[in-house]
Structure 1
Amino acid sequence: MTTTPSSLSLSLCNCYSYLQRCFLFVPVFIYLISFPLYAEDLEEKSAELDSVRHQIEDVKTSMEKARLETDALQTELKKNETSAGNITLNIREIERQIQQRNERLNQLNDRKSVRERALVKQKQALSQQIRSAYMVGKNDYMKLLLNQEDPARVGRALAYYDYHNQARAQQINSVNTEIETITQLENTIKRENDALFKLKKNQLAKEREISQSRRERENILAKLLNELEKQGLELQALQQQEQETKNLLEKLTEEQARDDRGSVAFFEDIPPFNSLKGKLDWPIKGKILTRYGSRKQGGKLKWQGVVINAELGVDVQAVSGGQVVFADWFRNLGLLIIIDHGDGYMSLYGYNQSLLKKTGDWVLPGEIISLAGDSGGQLRSGVYFEIRNNGSPVNPARWCRN
């Protein structure tokens, strides 16, 4: 069979038309083949999304649980450190009483020594009088009465004997009085010694109590630091403390602005705080561990005050006169005192072991207000010190003497 060009062309056209019709069904065919794959991928992505959502919920639940646990530990730390501060004050008071008792005991022993020396002299004088009377003779008095000599001479002699008798009687009374006084002093000294023994015994008990409290604090602090580190909440805790401090100072500033009665009279004898720049004494002597403006842990926050190294229990002094507007435990700053110096200036003293002043007290420059410590969960003892002007922190190094 011979193929003509026209028949070949027709054949090719028919083939092309057939192929076109076939290609129309290719997408449908591909879709039908791939539909199960798309469905499987959709289900997988949906499952992944659900898993992520569950993970987010788990993280939220975990973070909330961690927050509650850290809050509970902070509350426990506050209770422990506040109690320890009170125990320290009790020990301090006991030591003061022991010192007073010792001083009184020394005074009583000195008085007893003086009385004993006086008693020796009284006994010596009485012995001398008795010997003199013996030398004169016990019958002289009767002889004088029976003698018929000059009545005036007899009267003088009788007066002489009466004088010596009265003198002896007085000496005997003096000796008895000294003996009674010494006996009373000895009884008083015994009572003082008993009281001193009880005070020292109480002091030892309080010292054991504070040691136990310190051990409990270490356990609480270890749990707290572990929880913060585990959840990565260190930065969050620092940010929270900074915000809470700011809120507290704003509140105190507003309260002082509303109630400024009595401050004018108090500040009349004290130079204005803004005139004391570069003239203030530091609240405590010691090495500055962290400086104003230096980076905190993580590098995102800066120190708004300074930390001064100090041993536990060292006296902390007010840098200037003013009124205590806050004296309580505060998160991360521990036992905290804030003093309002007028004209918008305040000073803050944190990390204290014990507070010696309460809210509302007036203090003078250099007056002892607290004892240095490590409250607020600090790992070493010292004092955190800030100066603020209208709520904003300023560099304490520019206000205190170098």
Structure 2
Amino acid sequence: MKKIALILSLLLYISSLSVFGQSVSDYQKKLNNVNQSINNINKAINENKKEQKSVEEQIRALEVEINEREREIAKINSELKETERQIRSTQKEINEIEKNIEENNEMLGRRLKVMYKVSDVGYLDVLFSSKDITELLSNLDMIKKIVNHDKELLEELRKSKEVVEAKKLRLENDQKKIVNLKNSIEIEKNRLLVSRGEQNRLKKQLESEQSKLLAQEDELLRYAKSLEKEIQKMQSKGDYAGGVLLWPAPGYTRITSPFGNRIHPIFNVPRMHTGIDIAAPMGATIVAANSGTVLQADWLGGYGKTVLIDHGGGIVTLYAHNSTLLVSQGQKVERGQAIARAGSTGNSTGPHLHFEVRKNGAYVDPMSWLR
């Protein structure tokens, strides 16, 4: 934000300077200052875009982590439901065993009362009901076996109950662990949600700053255009060299972006495309479209390394995003002369030539001059 305030102050200072009684050199110095300011804004815009890209990457990474935590929570919820189902099933099993133990205890108690009651009636009944001593012993042995069987059954039931209760205890411990794990993942998910919210707020802030920078760039570009018009009034006194302009990128004819309104490929906002983009590889030769005088051969804001040629009669051509400049300001050039090497400097998505034609300072479609 400090950069924005600084650039805005510089813009106001430059705008306040008098434009009367100035020489071409004075206008050119002012234009250079404005272009430097545009360059600074473009650097700030590029930094802003890098930050936005970094923030967007972090948001995407957080989204992936949040989705992963949600999948983990869904899986844990499923495991928790299954564990709770098993606990209920185990408790039901314990209840059935306890009921079985209770019933067998009652049965054993009734039998023991028959065998060990204070009166001997029970034994007498068995004695008198027996035909002989052999049958008596056999009946008594049978009663003992029944009682022993009941005792063994009860012991087995008690052991089964202990096993099932141990299983239930393990399941309850598992349940506690699953709940604790779920809580820790929920905490992590909430932390990620907070981080995503902070990143989204930062993204909006960066987008707001970018809008302000673009607005300031537009203001500077308008002022630069007014300075260029003043320079052209003083420099372009001669007649236009005449004729159709020469294609500026020999051997490379594919136009990747025509003249007119479009969505900016870097800033993703509607912008006027003031020239044509010609696909040309890094280092390809760029030539003068017609004879004239080099107005500027330097870095020009988002244009990067740029050449402007005055052809007389108010006609100026511009060649931008070059990797190398082969001419200098004030130099006379001939039609077809090599003036630069194609590149990707300034606001560019890759090597190409951005070519403009300006008539009395106004942007015109270059294709109407190249045909």
TM-score, normalised to structure 1's length?
Answer: 0.44
TM-score, normalised to structure 2's length?
Answer: 0.48
Higher RCO (C-alpha 8 Å, min separation 6): 2
